[in-house]
Amino acid sequence: MNDKKVYLPTARIEPPLAPGVPSTVGSDFLTTKLDALVQWGQKNSLWPMPFGTACCAIEFMSSVSSHYDLARFGAEVVRFSPRQADLMIIAGTITDKQAPILRKIYDQMPEPKWVISMGVCACTGGFYRAYHVVQGVDEIVPVDVYVAGCPPTPENLIHGLIELQKRIQSGELARHREAKTYVPIRVGTDPQVESLPAWSKAVMAPGRSHGREFPEMAESAEAEAAEAEKGSKA
Amino acid sequence: MPGRVVTIQPHEPTLGERLYLPLLQGMALTLKKFVANVFTPKTRPTIEYPEQRRQYSDRYRGRHILKTREDGSLKCVACYMCATACPADCINIVAGEHPNLAYEKYPTVFEIDLLRCVMCGFCVDACPKDAIWMTKDYEMSYFSRQDAIYGIPELTEKPSDTGEGGPGYGYRPYYGASPAKKAGQFEPSGLSLLPMTLARNAAINRVPPPPPKPPAPAPAKPAA
Amino acid sequence: MSATLSATGGVSFAPVLERKFPDGSVSVERRPAADVPTVVAAPGSFHEAARFLRDDPAAGFDLLLDLVAVDRLKLDGPPSFRGDERFQLNALLYSTKRNEHLRLRVALPATEPRLQTLAEVWPASNWFEREAWDLMGIRFDGHPNLARLLTHNGFVGHALRKDYEAGQRWLCTDEDVLQTALAAKTDLPEDVFETMTLNFGPSHPSTHGTLRIVLRVDGERIVAAESECGYLHRCFEKMSETHTYTQVIPYTDRLNYCSPMINGNGYARAVEQMLGIEIPARARAVRVVLSEFSRIMDHMVCIGANLVDLGGLTTFWYSYQAREEIYSLLEACCGARLTSSYARIGGLSLDVPDNFVEWCRTLGRSVTTHIREVETLLTKNRIFQKRMSGTGVVTKEQAIAWGFTGPCLRASGVGYDVRKDKPYDGYDEVDFDVPVATAGDNYSRYLVRMEEMRQSLRIIEQVVSKLPGGPVVSDDYRVVLPPKEMVYNEMEGLIFHFKNVFEGIQVPAGEIYSYTEGANGELGYSIVSDGSGRPYRVKVRPPCFPLFAAFEKIIIGGMVSDAVATLGTLNIIAGELDR
């Protein structure tokens, strides 16, 4: 990655929910059953807010159409207002220009909220290792489920939704969010991202073949460029 | 301007339209569909995933698998063609030396980042060893980015992928450039590419192609 | 490229040109016959040449298609490519009366490239010049609003210059997003009591995708508007410079993602023309059939999404049914529903399945049913008519001045369809009509699209009934991958395969402008090649770019809800708009 210009995103650190108050007050029978009931309700009435930008938005529209029908999972009410939604489905490439807007919309959603990153462009930047594309929306918002595919078929998206529902029911995701204060990926303290190999994170850099380190090719490319310059000056 | 051009005249609403009568036609259509969908479930267009699944073709581009030889080793010889052909640069290969000289190399590391992969199938097209295929498996959702980087254990072909009850094979190397051949056939066509190779080498190496044989010298003519 | 060079370079009015510019500052450049005729101007006479080309009856180029800026820093050529003639600006023009294309070129220096704006000559050039400024750094004197268009306001540098690294990103903060020129203006028109500035987008259900329009409204009426794009600028053109010709094909799928086959076919056709190879008849026919199905898909989405904004959800479900059925066909052919990557340079990647012909016929029948259903719900619907008739009116002169092509131009009265006027891929052997309307309002655009869908079905039926046999890909193995049996068994096959994958297709140095009829209008590809396996410059002429640029002018005086209806019928697809 290019170290000359440091990219610092605008994401703020998300505060933990009501500090000092744990999610389960004690662990007796009544409150765990109440938790289970609440989680059952939450998982079966996820109202999506489709932050659709590109081709994945078309596949999202296919998912809510009659062929696949996301409404069968309780996601009937597709709300484009973030204030009335609890699931943000980021469908499509997010560019640097769109990034502040994504963060603003995410902040406007009330808790509890979940994020599905649909499609490889939203998850990692996809094959756009370029100067205007955010290399994964987890630079900006915390993501719960990454759905792969370009674009993912509607069944794949529903599979991701079902996985999310399972984790909501088990309480894993609510606990997960409370325990961790989200720090944006590029600041470098997120252990999940540090463990990713560099070749997966790399954005296109000069003298390299597709962002991968081929030192002999870079040397020969530089030698060729130097020769060409000498040739043009001569 | 050539071609038949049909002009659509500006529409003047008829009396029936002004009385909103055609709306009844529209409503009758939606009512008919509503009744059909409620009372005859067989005509419903909804595919109730995950209980019902859509049947995809044998060319579906899903998750990749690495194919194995009879002895269980990967067919892949770490030639880097798939990694070079990939537009998303999502394949990472580290080659190691294979003791058998016929194979020469094998991949010690073969990783595909499925969250970068755009499912274009170029890796399958580019492989010269029939080593990478795609399946019809499309269920790829993860909870972290690290989970989506599939290494050799996850990518190697398993009976659960391609056997009974599994998603099955999808996109595979086709003989698409074969003239007048249908997909899947493997008969030798008798074509040889040698003449074309010679011409191409001549062009690339800037060596002039061998000059055409001069005609047999004509018998000497007396000067006019 | 094909060998024959035309005598006057294909420019029929060359004598008139010579008389008008006797000093030779504007002259004809000889181009191969596959490319469009070209006229070269010196920087000083560029503006005059542009006026001449628009006004002179022998020329009459009234429609500006595209402005292509090329940075020739790394191109093989004279040293001036790195100095006085580093930048090249090409204006692609079309004459609606004479049905001719033309390219007008000028060379600009490396330091401070400036040119006088073409905004008075062709109003369509407004946004094209902004894009040339944003991505290449060419200044246009006298431009009303020369600000960045595709990249954000915090971006530093000009991204498509050859010395700009492809991966260099810049941070965009909230302040960079909020201010546009209109939002910053605080003056009020005289006769208005009070206006409010509203932001329409970029995350809005009715702006299909990431479009933003800043509106100045007086009550419900729009007094001033400014549209802004670039929220989906995915750097297609830079990516195509760093990838090989074949690797660009998946990128083209994501341009107009509602009809992906058409983009891939157009790109493959452009490269095939540069190479001078012919694709087999079967490949051409299949490309035509799938392009027409893609056109139907695109129009279905346009109408369905438009109706969602107007409040009619039912049409959306019905039109998506048609789309899902076409998806099944596409998936059986190439393996993916939406982003097919089916075209290859030289033909198609795979042959179609065995039951292709019957499937197309059955699909044609069911799509006809869906079209009829949509029509039952909409065409005679008084509510729909009242909302759509008379709103979003674009007159014929406005449409040509603003650079419209495609259904929006045809709905305003100009019958220009690339398939009829400059036929390609065998469209001249097929019998179909081109619907043209005269009113230029939203309802006409809707009717034109409905009729085009029916005509597409006609084309499909005719082509499929005489689908030729044979291979689906050229047998020139320098360009296509050899058959797998040869790759596995023969050394030469492996070598061709290896060279194709590692080095890419070696396209001879040169350039071309190749155009086809996309679902939204003329989809053009300007490709410059430097002789290597990677394109030197690819510029897409997006059909919806001039449509969205003109949108801010169309909606003035109307209501906000009419603006929503107009945006739907213009069919702005952000992937194509921003590339």
Q: Which residue of B has its CA nearest to A128?
A: B88
In terms of pLDDT, which residue wins out, A97 or A201?
A: A97
Asked if pLDDT for residue A24 goes beyond 50, the answer is: no
Whole-number average pLDDT of chain A: 71
Looking at residue B180, what is its pLDDT? 40
Among C169, C205, C323, the residue with its CB nearest the CB of A80 is C205
A218 in contact with C at a CB cutoff of 8 Å?
A: no
Comparing CA positions, the residue from B166, B162, B149, B182 lying closest to residue B68 is: B162
Q: How far is CA C270 from CA A13, A27, B175, C291, C508, in A?
A: 49, 68, 25, 16, 13
Q: Do A204 and C242 touch (CB under 8 A)?
A: yes
Q: Which residue of B has its CA nearest to A125?
A: B116
User: Contact C575/C543 with Cβ under 8 angstroms?
Assistant: no
Token pair 């011409």 in the structure block, residue: B199
Q: For residue range B90-138, list pLDDT tens digits in order.
A: 888 999 998 888 888 999 999 999 999 999 999 999 998 889 999 999 9
Contacts of A120 in chain B (CB under 8 A): 88, 114-118
Q: Do A65 and C320 touch (CB under 8 A)?
A: yes
Q: Give percent of chain A with pLDDT exceeding 70.
A: 62
The contacts found for B79-83 with CB under 8 angstroms, 24 or more apart, are: B79/B105, B79/B128, B79/B129, B81/B126, B81/B127, B81/B128, B81/C497, B81/C498, B81/C501, B81/C502, B82/B122, B82/B123, B82/B124, B82/B126, B82/B127, B82/B132, B83/B123
Put simply, the chain C residues between 223 and 282 with a CB less than 8 A from any chain A CB are 230-235, 238-239, 242-243, 250-251, 254, 257-258
Give helix C356-378 / helix B22-39 axis angle, nearest 10°. Answer: 130
- 3-class state of residue C539 by DSSP: strand
User: Contact A141/A106 with Cβ under 8 angstroms?
Assistant: yes
Residue range(s) occupied by CATH 3.40.50.12280 in chain A: 41-204+211-233
Q: Which residue of B has its CA nearest to A150?
A: B118
Q: Do A199 and B45 touch (CB under 8 A)?
A: no
Asked if pLDDT for residue A187 goes beyond 50, the answer is: no
Looking at residue A226, what is its pLDDT? 61
ipTM attached to this prediction: 0.90
Residue B1's pLDDT band, with cuts at 50, 70 and 90, is: very low
A92 in contact with C at a CB cutoff of 8 Å?
A: yes
Q: Which residue of C has its CA nearest to A90?
A: C203
Cβ contacts below 8 Å, chain A against chain C, sum to 161
Q: For residue range B58-93, list pLDDT tens digits in order.
A: 889 999 999 998 888 899 999 999 999 999 888 889
Put simply, the chain B residues between 125 and 154 with a CB less than 8 A from any chain C CB are 125-126, 128-130, 134
CATH 3.90.1150.10 fits A41-204+211-233, yes or no: no
Q: What is the mean pLDDT of each run of 10 residues along chain C (579 residues)?
A: 49 82 83 86 90 88 93 86 88 91 91 89 93 93 89 85 82 66 63 75 78 87 88 92 92 92 94 91 94 95 91 88 90 89 90 88 92 90 89 92 93 91 90 90 92 94 91 83 79 85 89 93 94 92 93 91 91 91
Asked if pLDDT for residue A1 goes beyond 80, the answer is: no
User: Could you give the domains of chain C?
Assistant: 14-125 (3.30.460.80), 236-578 (1.10.645.10)
User: Contact B106/B76 with Cβ under 8 angstroms?
Assistant: yes
Looking at residue A17, what is its pLDDT? 40
Q: Do A65 and C321 touch (CB under 8 A)?
A: yes
